[in-house]
Each structure stands twice: as structure tokens, then as C-alpha cells.
Amino acid sequence: MLRLEEDEPSPGICDQLHEIVRSIGLLCYVACPPIPSEIIRKLAFHPPDKGATYRIELKSDPEKDLESVRDCHDEPVQLVVRDRVHPEVKVFSVTTSEDSHLVCVKCSPNCYSKNPEVANQVVLFCQSSSADLGSFLQPNSMNFSTFANLFETDVYAFDYSGYGFSSGTQSEKNMYADVRAVYEHILKTRPDKKIVVIGYSIGTTAAVDLAASNPDRLVGVVLIAPLTSALRMFCNNPDKETTWWGDSFLSIDKICHINTRVLICHGDHDQRIPMTHGMALYENLKNPVPPLIVHGANHHSIISGEYIEVFTRIASFMRNETLLSCRANQIESSSSKKFKHE
């Protein structure tokens, strides 16, 4: 005779009260104050705990604790991940228009590209909302140093305001000011270089906001797992024609203003930001290149190194499809025609 499994015990009144209190607490945290920008900020930004993935230290006094890069007072600092200093990573800081002091890094490849188009470019990377610099500098994983070697050029990255050892608070406004400050630093310190901006996840909104203003020397944009807007994502309606009041991260409204070439990469198994968002953005591009749909990739695995075609496609984009490469090809083609004519 089979013995029926006993039913799970019903939660007691204490358990029910605990769940009610927890739900009320979560609602109060998200909805108070009832300001759309504050609600979006709490939902959108999830920085790792400070010091969980990396720390910074003064080169002159490694034992001194730093709460923010602001505390270094322009003294040279070094970045430490898992008690290891990364000598190949140059650490610097910039100050934004919102008075945030950001931790920034420049990672250089072991060997620079011999392709003149790639050699004349550098990469600026905008990361996701749940990562900081240390997340992309872990050993034995796809990290900024690996990016530099794959792209054969310098890769710049930074922590948003309120992330890691950057000062300030997380917000959409600050994030846009952050990427502009780092971009302007590259313009000033690398006057001989063109810039390709790569954004991943929420970092695509920073990349789009910057690129829509068509800054000097921007020759290409790469968007990995991008979203159309915050409410379109939460409501799973990327094709909505009009924008809701109170919506934010409005890439769908800005992307049509980008003059440079834009490459979109998206995984077809992405459940966090479905591929339909990437395709909706693609349809609104002024100057698109063929997108990359990564079959089997989800929101995390698309950039984990599991799908190397993502990085080979970006490298190909930098060689052949950025505005710099297109101009070079046009000049070469014109010269060839002129030679044949003569």
C-alpha cells in the first residue's frame, strides 16, 4: 500500500506576519520618497559592497585605508584584486560635472595591433549596474586585460558614482556625467586617438546618451544586451511607440541621433533584457551595421567569454566598420580608382 506524502505544513501566523512586514519594508524602500527618479535609482543600481571585489591603495603607503579615490589627493594609487597588484592596469581618477570623483583604469595589451585603423582607436567600456571594476579584473575570467589583448588596443573603464571607491551617489544623471567625464579625459590625454564606446546592459544607456551628442572623435558604438527604456523593460513592451511619463534610460528616444556606426550584440536566450529590445533599437539606428544575434547566450553568458564570437565580431567592427575604417577604405578606393584612371 502506497503511503501518500504529507502535505507541506501551512505557514504559521508568525511566518505570515514576517512576510507581510518584509513586503511592506521593501515597498517603503522602493516607493519612498515617491519620486520617479528615486524609485528608478533603487531598482536600477545594485553595486557590489565596497571592497568586495577590489581595493585601492597609495603606492607610497599601501597600508593606508582609503574610503574614496578622493582621499588620495592626486597621489599615485594602485588597484589590488585578491591581494594582487595589477601592474598592467594604470589607475587614475577624474572629477565629473556633478563633483563625483571616479576611479578609472586603462588596460594595455601585450601587443598593439599592426592594423593602422585599430592602432588609431581606443575603447571606453561602460559596465552593468551590478558590477564594479573589480568584477572585470578577476583572474581566470573575461576581464579588461583580456579585452585589451583581444582588441589589440587600450581599454578604458571606470566605476560609476557611488560604485567601488568612486564618490557620489548612483543615479541616471550621475551615470551620464560619469561617462562624459572619462570620455573628455581621453580626448585631452590621447589627442591622437579615435574612440569606440562599448556599453553592456545598463551601461548601454550611458553609451547611447554620450553618443547621441556626437562628441569629437567618436567613431563607433557597441551595445551588448541593450534596453530600450526602463519602463519598456519592466513592462516587456520594447516596441511601444510613445514614451510613458516618468520613464527613464530612454535609449529608444536618443539612438536615432547617433551619427556614427553602431553594432548591437544580443543573446537570444536573454531573459533579463530580451532580444526584442536590441532589435527595436536596431530599427531606429541612423547608421547601423549587421547586428550579432548570439544563439544560446543569456544576459550574463554573452560577455563571460563563453561565446568568443562576440569579441571577434567587435574586433572585426573596429577593423572594418567604424567611421575611421570606412574613411580609410573610401580613401583607398578613391586612390585605386584614380590610379586606374590615370
With vertex at residue 176, the alpha carbon angle to CA 279 and CA 188, rounded to the nearest 5 degrees, is 110
Place of cell 513592451: 237
201 catalytic? Reply is yes
73 catalytic? Reply is no
With vertex at residue 297, the alpha carbon angle to CA 295 and CA 299, rounded to the nearest 5 degrees, is 140
How close are the terminal C-alpha atoms of the chain, in Å?
98
Give the active site residue among 132, 178, 209, 270. Answer: 270
Going by C-alpha positions, the residue among 60, 61, 156 that lies closest to residue 102 is: 156
Pairing of strands 194-200, 218-224: parallel
Q: Which three cell numbers stand for residue 342?
A: 590615370
CB 98 within 8 A of CB 173: yes
Give the active site residue among 201, 248, 251, 325. Answer: 201
Contacts within 8 Å (CB) and 24+ apart, 160-163: 160/45, 160/47, 160/102, 161/96, 161/98, 161/100, 161/102, 162/45, 162/47, 162/100, 163/47, 163/48, 163/132
Torsion of CA 309, 315, 320, 323, to 10 degrees: 120
CB 106 within 8 A of CB 156: yes
Q: Which three cell numbers stand for residue 184?
A: 573628455
239 catalytic? Reply is no
Residues 6+ apart with CB under 8 A from 7: none
Torsion of CA 116, 328, 198, 208, to 10 degrees: 160
Distance CA 240, CA 76 (A): 49
Pairing of strands 101-107, 155-158: antiparallel
| Residues with a known catalytic role | 201, 270, 299
